[in-house]
Amino acid sequence: MLDFIQQLVSGVALGCIYGLIALGFVLIYKTTEVVNFAQGELLMLGGFFAFTFIALLGLNYWIGFALAVVCMAAFGAASERFVLRPVLGSPQFSIVMATVGLGFFLRSVAGMIWGTDDLKIDTPFSTGVLRIGDLVLAHDKLSVIVATAILCIALYLFFTKTQLGTAMRATSENMLAAYYMGIPVKTVVSLTWAISAAVAACAGVLLAPITFIHSNVGLVLALKAFPAAVLGGFGSIPGAVVGGIIIGVIENMAGFYLAQGWKDVAPHIVLLTMLLLKPEGLFGHIGRKKV
Amino acid sequence: MSDAQPILKVSNIESYYGPIMAIRGVSLSLSEGKIVTVLGANGAGKTTILKTISGVLDPLKGAVEFEGKSVQRMDPDKIVRLGISHVPEGREVFPFLTVRENLAMGGFLRTNRDEVAQDLERIYGYFPRLKERLDQPAGQLSGGEQQMLAISRALMNRPKVLLLDEPSLGLSPLLVKEIFGIIRRVNAEQGVSILLVEQNAKKALETADYGYVLEVGRVVMDDTCARLMQSKDIQEFYLGAKEDSARGERRWKKKKTWR
């Protein structure tokens, strides 16, 4: 039983990371109908920025964390402006390839700047454990879960309670009508990328004590986060997080209870089953427009 | 029209959809506080004119002037900021946003909360039914209610010019009557100048002051609505009046005078 709970908690923690990446996929997909295959690289870059600020420049963890997130938000907006906007209006495939290319580019550049070794940041959560009876939970995993919850609440409030957040939802529902309302659609799209990149950066920094930072960290995670986004119903923000947690828990459980090899296959089996039985995903809705 | 300074003036615009020329040198003008209608069959280019004015389409040639300043090739959100609001064909409400949020989006550029609250009250006065549905997603409204919402949403920006694209599309005759009544009230009470594009020529001519007739991307006729309604061509081709010939049969091949 103890094993089960411990596996569950690490599964949820891992799943939260998947969920945060999936959230980035979904945010960008909803507003621009582009799947950003460089989402994992944004996470990786967030980790490297944090490493630079905290380990190399010796800043306080929280200041370094905040700086990394701000830098990544700016970076996200810039990639939208200079990589995506020029190809806007091209066939879908070209746009997707542009994001794949961006991912490759970022991976190589990160390798050139920061090297190919695994890097490590000392965080307040790196070593501590929480004991409840015989249960031992590592702080690094708990910090991921708590931070994801806070981020989700913050994003929820932003998207439902503020005028700008509502405008972003409106833009994702009907871009042309958003123009007719006087919503600056181009700025909104840049902002979407900024938020996605900032969320990815948070995930990258939170993940640093668990998996270390290296230039391929994003690729592996994004491959798992993609099923998470689909599982939640591509286009649903709560679905992305829930899908991520489900994938994370299944992966961890499969790794613990099943033979070797199942760990990496299990999420994709779940995905295929899901697509066969309920292709719109857990929270997806197929929009119909009245004429 | 002979009035001194039109609030909106379109001169010789040509717009394309890819290689297809949708409007071929259209000019029209809208005086402050008036309702002007553009009549025409499907594919005549009516919607294209409105899209060109609101900046969604860029004209290849020609000029769009609003309050004396040229606004062609400006971004659509900048044009809305100047005071031109567009109610698109087919309503285009935000389906998963509530009615309240849809209205809030209409007032996206507004900063004065008191004025926004006043405008909301006025809109509930025009369309009491929207007030009952404030917290429903707009996608769940009926077609007529969505049209009401689309018009209200555009009014939330306190526009000086309202571009209305087919407000009667898919509505019952009773609702059409109600909507056109409101359009006249908005024009009379708030002094909003309106450019109205309609298939329902009878309603449009009754509502508007001045009319343009568009065929395959060209203006073929323009006059005051009273005179247009008297015109034989308009009566036959747009209002559906039958003219019996000497032999008591309808002449199907009658030519329009402008051909």
Interface predicted TM-score (ipTM): 0.86
Judge whether B245 lies within some domain.
no
| Nearest alpha-carbon partner for A77 in A158, A194, A215 | A194
Asked if A250 and A266 count as a contact pair (C-beta separation under 8 A), the reply is: yes
Residue A213 three-state SS: strand
Do A174 and B92 lie within an 8 Å CB cutoff? yes
Strands B20-30 and B218-224, by their bridges, are unpaired
Cβ within 8 Å of residue A205, ≥6 positions away: A46, A47, A50, A65, A68, A69, A121
Residue B77 is nearest to which of A170, A184, A289, comparing CB atoms?
A184
CATH number (domain holding residue B169): 3.40.50.300
Judge whether B90 lies within some domain.
yes
**Separation of CA A120 from chain center:** 20
Asked if B129 and B79 count as a contact pair (C-beta separation under 8 A), the reply is: no
Report the residue of chain B nearest A167, measured CA to CA. Answer: B105
Task: State the nearest Cα–Cα gap between A257 and chain B, in angstroms.
Answer: 42
What is the C-alpha separation between A56 and A49, in angstroms, rounded?
10
Give ∠ CA A255-A280-A231 in degrees, rounded to 5: 20
Structure tokens at B196: 């109205």
Judge whether B253 lies within some domain.
no
**Separation of CA B213 from chain center:** 14
What is the secondary structure of B204-246 as a DSSP string? HHHH-SEEEEEETTEEEEEEEHHHHHH-HHIIIIIS----B-T
Do B94 and A170 lie within an 8 Å CB cutoff? yes
Do A179 and B56 lie within an 8 Å CB cutoff? yes
Residue A182 is nearest to which of B104, B109, B143, comparing CB atoms?
B109
Residue B146 is nearest to which of A166, A183, A290, comparing CB atoms?
A290
Cβ within 8 Å of residue A90, ≥6 positions away: none
Which amino acid makes up residue A51? F
Which amino acid makes up residue A268? H
Structure tokens at B43: 């594919």
Residue A245 three-state SS: helix
Residue B244 confidence class, pLDDT cut points 50, 70, 90: low
Do B97 and A169 lie within an 8 Å CB cutoff? yes
Do A181 and B54 lie within an 8 Å CB cutoff? no
Judge whether B246 lies within some domain.
no
Residue A176 is nearest to which of B56, B97, B154, comparing CB atoms?
B56
pLDDT top residue among B245 and A130 = A130
Instruction: Please give the span between the terminal C-alpha atoms of chain A, in angstroms, as a whole number.
Output: 55
pLDDT of amino acid B250: 58
Show the domain range for B178: 8-238
Judge whether B244 lies within some domain.
no
A183 contacts in B (CB within 8 Å)? 77, 105, 108
Say how many residues make up chain B. Answer: 259
Structure tokens at A19: 């969920």
Judge whether B63 lies within some domain.
yes
Which amino acid makes up residue B82? L
Q: What is the pLDDT along chain A (291 residues), one digit of tens a residue?
A: 888 888 899 999 999 999 999 999 999 998 888 889 999 999 999 999 999 999 899 899 999 999 999 999 999 999 999 999 998 878 888 888 999 999 999 999 999 999 888 888 888 887 888 888 888 888 888 999 999 999 999 999 999 999 999 999 999 999 999 999 999 999 999 999 999 999 999 999 998 888 888 888 888 889 889 889 988 888 788 889 999 999 999 999 998 898 888 888 888 888 888 889 888 888 766 544 433
Domain count, chain B: 1
Report the residue of chain A nearest B170, measured CA to CA. Answer: A291
Instruction: Please give the span between the terminal C-alpha atoms of chain B, in angstroms, as a whole number.
Output: 24
Cβ within 8 Å of residue B237, ≥6 positions away: B256
pLDDT of amino acid A290: 37
pLDDT top residue among B193 and B40 = B193
Which phi and psi (to 5°) does residue B40 adopt?
165, 160
Residue B61 three-state SS: strand
**Chain B residues with CB-CB distance to A under 8 A?**
54-56, 75-77, 80-81, 85-88, 90-97, 101-102, 104-106, 108-109, 139, 143, 146, 153-154, 157, 170
A289 contacts in B (CB within 8 Å)? 95, 139
Residue A121 three-state SS: coil
**Which strand (E) or helix (H) includes residue B35?**
strand B35-40
Residue B1 confidence class, pLDDT cut points 50, 70, 90: very low
Judge whether B45 lies within some domain.
yes
Alpha helices in chain B (DSSP H): 46-53, 76-82, 99-106, 113-126, 128-132, 143-155, 173-190, 201-207, 225-230, 232-233
Report the residue of chain A nearest B96, measured CA to CA. Answer: A173
Residue B209 confidence class, pLDDT cut points 50, 70, 90: very high
Asked if pLDDT for residue B255 goes beyond 70, the answer is no
pLDDT of amino acid B249: 57
Structure tokens at B144: 């007529």
| Nearest alpha-carbon partner for B238 in B196, B207, B205 | B205
Cα-Cα-Cα-Cα torsion B137, B142, B143, B147, nearest 10 degrees, comes to -60
Judge whether B175 lies within some domain.
yes
Task: State the nearest Cα–Cα gap between B108 and chain A, in angstroms.
Answer: 7
Residue B94 is nearest to which of A173, A179, A288, comparing CB atoms?
A173
